[in-house]
Amino acid sequence: MAIYRRRAGASARPWTIRRVPVCSSTEELLGAWLRDQPSLIGPRAVIATHQRRGVGQLGRAWVSPPGGVWISAALPWKSPASGQAGLLGLALALSLVQRLERRGLSVQIKWPNDLLVHGRKLAGLLPGVVQRGSQLRLLRIGLGLNVRNPVPCEGIALRWLEGQQAADPIRWTAEVLLALDHCQALGGDGAWCLDGVRARLWADQLIHPEDGQTWRISGLESDGALRLRQGSRTETWRRWP
């Protein structure tokens, strides 16, 4: 938090942090915390050195050994409308990409919630929203960032990009908090992120997982959905099939 406050300066937010050495899942701990204390004055987060059963997209296991940043956060959100988790997840992804770019890294966004460097996964985000009636009350985000932890063959860690000494999980935890601050400060429905995400999409085409054919990525819808075209056929994805 000292690193975070020094870098945030006067814009530092009143984060409440719970840090644990090991847990099943930071998402589980944050969920229990929100049930016990549902009123948020400021943002709160659970940070773990190691997760035993981290959760990624579609319920897949997210390997999260010591050396990475494993965090689940809840951000009070002011928006007159309901929230689209997919669009706000892209807004969070862009905010983190911009922090990484400040360090000279070239990062792409693999829709809907992965960050890639050299085609390999550096980070993953799992967004969710909590509504009160028709209004967005808070944004939840589970985030994993590979720093100096071991990674599978399809992954990449910051220690390979920045060097072992520079890749400090504590420093990068502060960077993640700053990215969340930035996204929360812009607020709204997240539509402000669309141009930035389009410019950083990981590919201009993909192999459709259902028909095995190549489809062209033709852009993003206003709600963050991925727009695809193959000949005269079009599809719009709001989650990966």
Alpha carbon 126 to its chain centroid, in Å, reads: 6
CA 153 to chain centroid: 21
Q: Where are the beta strands (DSSP E) in 133-230?
A: 135-145, 205-207, 214-220, 226-230
pLDDT at 164 over 60: yes
Specify the higher pLDDT residue, 41 or 181: 181
- Rama region for 212: left / alpha / beta (φ>0; ψ in -120 to 50; rest): left
Within the chain, what is the greatest distance between any pair of CA atoms? 55
| Better-predicted residue by pLDDT, 91 or 166 | 91
Q: C-alpha dihedral over 4, 28, 18, 105, to 10 degrees?
A: -20
DSSP assignment string, 94-156: HHHHHHHHTTT---EEETTTEEEETTEEEEEEEEEEEEETTEEEEEEEEEEE-SSS---TTB-
Cα dihedral 170→176→177→179 (10° resolution): 150
Q: What is the rounded distance in angstroms from the CA atom of residue 32 to the CA atom of residue 47?
A: 14
CATH number assigned to the domain covering 2-199? 3.30.930.10
pLDDT confidence of residue 55: 62
Per-residue pLDDT tens digits for 192-237: 999 999 999 999 999 999 999 999 999 999 999 999 999 999 999 9
Structure tokens at 156: 């990449």
Higher pLDDT, residue 135 or 44: 44
Average pLDDT over residues 12-21: 96
Reported as a single tens digit per residue, the pLDDT across 134-160 is: 778 899 999 999 999 999 999 999 999
pLDDT digits (tens, 9 = 90+) for 102-146: 999 999 999 999 999 999 999 999 999 888 777 788 999 999 999
